[in-house]
Amino acid sequence: MIKFRLAHLSLAMAALGFTALTPVIGLSSAVAQEAMRPEIGKPLQQAQAQMKQGKHKEALATLRGLDKVGNKTANESYLIERVRAGAASSAGDYDTAAKSFEALLASGKLNANERSQFAEGLVGIYMRAGDLNKANSTIQTLLKQKEDPKLRAYLLQNYYKQGNTAALEQELRTIEKSGRLSEDQLGMLANIQLKKNDTAGYVRTIEKLASSYPKAQYWTDLLNRVQRQPGYSQRLNVDVYRLKLANNLLKKPSEYMEMAQLVLQAKAPAEALKIIDKGYKAGALGTGTDAARHQRLKDLAEKNLAEQNKNFAALEAEHTAVKDQDSLVGLGYALVQAGQADKGLKMMDAAIKAGGLKNPEDAKLRLGEAYAVAGKKQQAIATLKTVGGKDGTAELARYWILAINNPLS
């Protein structure tokens, strides 16, 4: 299971375009130029001066005095709420700020740009106040007017915080229909599927993550799940290791050692030497108390390769005489790893076409792997697409295609 770390979505007013009030003085809007009575204008100027000094609570108190003034014009009420919105936001009085923002939006005095900014500011206020239902309602209204990825991200985050998995999943599916989900969004979907025990859906989502956002954590999860699935065959462990090696997932000395031993058992000593050499270069082998053991394995691989090279013609003749197609597939694969790609691939293909294999899907999987090793990507993908089976071969073939098309950097 992967623990997803979703990207932090700042709820600060700054992220939504509001850290403080736009001053009344200097507003381009015509409403700011309309005449104001002294009993309104002077307290407003006092409140702004208090805000400049950082005395936001005092500014709110000054503004509350204006609530007692009767017969205010629409413009006076608008300007009071505009100042109050900034003071309340800066003071952390989100309830008061929300009411002011709502009044401003209902005033009809905001131009299109300001209306958008204040609407987003109101979303931020609701979110900071913890009133996610109101925030979501406002976001949905705004999204109906105009698509905004930032607001869409806030809506997803709010559903996630609320534990509203049904709404969150529906929203993610809607986004998915119109384009590719982001890494965070796929992570949310994977978490939902885990909570629902939707294993098949979870795996599909992790495959999308590994494809679009290739990372070690996604690949590790996929390969671990293949080995834990019902019916998985242990004979495919070597193929799992090959995918791990292709994605640079081998880190521990024991992993390099085990893979090299499995490859030697598969009679591919040239491949074993490559693995061992990579382990040495990575600093995983050749050091510590097991350095001598590492060297012995390397010596064994070199010895096996020398013997295979010496006896190759005899081995091919022997396998051909008894129609041992499985051994010919293995011998062909060993040739590819030893640098004789054309000859090895031809041998593997002929053995598969001859039939009589114990595990034909394994053979096709390894032919696809061999094409990949030889750098023949299109042939590899075409071959891997033909692989079936219910013991892990089909999944591994699919993941090889994924790795070829989206290599882990």
Q: Which CATH number characterizes residue 357's domain?
A: 1.25.40
CA distance 403 to 282: 21
Domain end call among 158, 190, 222: 190
Domain end call among 134, 161, 190: 190
* Alpha carbon distances (Å) from 42 to 35, 46, 52, 80, 83: 12, 6, 15, 11, 13
CA distance 382 to 397: 11
pLDDT band at 156 (very low <50, low <70, confident <90, very high): very high
State whether 182 and 252 are in the same domain.
no
- The verdict on residue 210 lying in a domain is no
Report the pLDDT averaged over residues 117-143: 89
pLDDT over 60 at 201, yes or no: yes
What is the SS3 assignment for 1? coil
pLDDT over 70 at 72, yes or no: yes
pLDDT the model gives residue 383? 98
pLDDT tens by residue, 263-311: 999 999 999 999 999 999 999 999 999 999 999 999 999 999 999 999 9
State whether 244 and 378 are in the same domain.
yes
State whether 314 and 376 are in the same domain.
yes
pLDDT over 80 at 222, yes or no: yes
CA distance 304 to 308: 6
pLDDT the model gives residue 265? 96
Q: Could you tell me which of 349, 339, 334 has the C-alpha nearest to residue 382?
A: 349
Report the percent of the chain where pLDDT is more than 70. 91
Angle, helix 393-405 to helix 199-212, in steps of 10 degrees = 30
State whether 166 and 248 are in the same domain.
no
CB atoms near residue 224 (< 10 Å): 12
pLDDT over 50 at 27, yes or no: no
pLDDT the model gives residue 409? 65
pLDDT over 80 at 159, yes or no: yes
* CATH code, domain with 110: 1.25.40.10
- The verdict on residue 36 lying in a domain is no
Q: Could you tell me which of 230, 254, 255, 253 has the C-alpha nearest to residue 240?
A: 255
Bigger pLDDT: 12 vs 264: 264
Domain end call among 190, 207, 227: 190
Count of domains for the chain: 2
pLDDT the model gives residue 129? 85
State whether 148 and 268 are in the same domain.
no
pLDDT over 60 at 7, yes or no: no
- The verdict on residue 33 lying in a domain is no
pLDDT the model gives residue 26? 31
Q: What is the mean pLDDT of the chain?
A: 89
pLDDT band at 177 (very low <50, low <70, confident <90, very high): confident
pLDDT the model gives residue 113? 85
241 in Cβ contact with 258 (< 8 Å): yes
State whether 186 and 244 are in the same domain.
no
State whether 283 and 392 are in the same domain.
yes
pLDDT band at 145 (very low <50, low <70, confident <90, very high): confident
- The verdict on residue 342 lying in a domain is yes
Find the domain containing 112 and state its range: 49-66+73-190
pLDDT band at 16 (very low <50, low <70, confident <90, very high): very low
pLDDT tens by residue, 240-266: 999 999 999 999 999 999 999 999 999
Report the percent of the chain where pLDDT is more than 90. 73
State whether 116 and 253 are in the same domain.
no
The first and second tokens of residue 7, run together, are 């990207």
The first and second tokens of residue 126, run together, are 């609701």
pLDDT band at 24 (very low <50, low <70, confident <90, very high): very low
Report the pLDDT averaged over residues 52-56: 94
Helix spans in 34-182 (H): 38-52, 56-66, 74-91, 94-106, 112-129, 132-145, 149-162, 165-178
- The verdict on residue 377 lying in a domain is yes
State whether 393 and 245 are in the same domain.
yes
Q: Count CA atoms closer than 13 A to 305's CA, side-chain side.
A: 20
pLDDT over 70 at 19, yes or no: no
Look up the pTM and report it: 0.76
Report the pLDDT averaged over residues 76-97: 91
pLDDT the model gives residue 34? 59
State whether 165 and 251 are in the same domain.
no
